[in-house]
Amino acid sequence: MWMEKVRDIKWKEGMDVSGLVDMLGNVGFQGAELSRAANIIADMKRNGAKTYLTFTSNMVTSGLRGLFAQLIKLGLADVVVTTTGGIEEDIMKAIGEDFLIGRYSPDDMALHEKGMNRIGNLMITNESYARFEDYMLPALRKIYKKQKRLAVSELLHELGLMLKDEDSILYQAAKNRVPVFCPAITDGSLGFHLFMFQQDHPDFIVDVVRDFSNLLASSSFDDKKGVIALGGGVSKHHAIFGILLNGGCDYAVYMTTSSPHSGSMGGATTSEGKTWGKVKVDANEVTVIGDVSIMFPLVMARAMDAMKAEGLIGNG
């Protein structure tokens, strides 16, 4: 196996992000994997791979939401798979709600009494959820008038058409005809609102099973396929299972803070995925261990600089 030499990293005046990521590639440990990830993502675009972007809701709570929307806008995500929290928090931000940054070790009882809900060091108020509820009821009424039975991705497309925020995942997905899948749609506030709406409109059906057919139709056995899986859980597995049934991934980038030792989906590596056929034996793949809110922007800045220089993407 051909190997790179370890090289010392040093600060250079005017150093840009791409230069930093390139240097990290010769530092070793996760810096090397970070650099590989950037190259693999650029290769997905160079070789016309159908790219699946998966992420968990906490990443939408953070400031990564606008980057995900930008990737959709630039044609770097052909299919999106996420969780219910990611959908509702995208809508919350699109209608003007702000999330706050606090501390990891606050007085949680005091936060509860103030109506503050903590996700790590991020905070969402009860008022934001109340305004989300106020938004969803008329939105669901509009959709119900158009169509009474929808697959989940069709419901999310309709919701995206109603938004006016360029930094919204659903808005960009609807505008660019990128399907958004959310197989665990009932696992959150949005699911509760769907449940409550159905109590008054029993003929309103959100069809999760039908959406599996739409997932399979999002690519074919003959397509080159790539996945960028950020975190684990249902969003990651739903995508790679669908890809498995269409022949497996040719390119795979996993990013996670989870360990493989517990057997979790979050900790499962690209190498482990080869045993299932989710990732092809000869796939170009890497698993990066680290905080996605730090790692992913670095990787994408390097990959997008390369793609922009090659004329593969336009201005964001």
**pLDDT tens by residue, the chain, 316 residues:** 568 899 999 999 999 999 999 999 999 999 999 999 999 999 999 999 999 999 999 999 999 999 999 999 999 999 999 999 999 999 999 999 999 999 999 999 999 999 999 999 999 999 999 999 999 999 999 999 999 999 999 999 999 999 999 999 999 999 999 999 999 999 999 999 999 999 999 999 999 999 999 999 999 999 999 999 999 999 999 999 999 999 999 999 999 999 999 999 999 999 999 999 999 999 999 999 999 999 999 999 999 999 999 999 988 7
Q: Which of 175, 278, 280, 308 is catalytic?
A: 278
- Are 298 and 17 in contact by the 8 Å Cβ rule? The answer is yes
Residue with tokens 């992420």: 55
pTM of the shown model: 0.96
Residue with tokens 């990651």: 236
Question: Rounded to whole angstroms, how far apart are CA atoms 67 and 159?
Answer: 20
CA dihedral 237→122→98→236, nearest 10 degrees, is: -10
Q: Which CATH architecture has domain 18-78+225-316?
A: 3-Layer(aba) Sandwich (3.40)
Q: What are the sequence ranges of the domains in the chain?
A: 18-78+225-316
- Told to judge if 5 belongs to the known catalytic residues of this protein, a careful annotator would answer no
Question: Rounded to whole angstroms, how far apart are CA atoms 198 and 144?
Answer: 10
- Are 53 and 240 in contact by the 8 Å Cβ rule? The answer is no
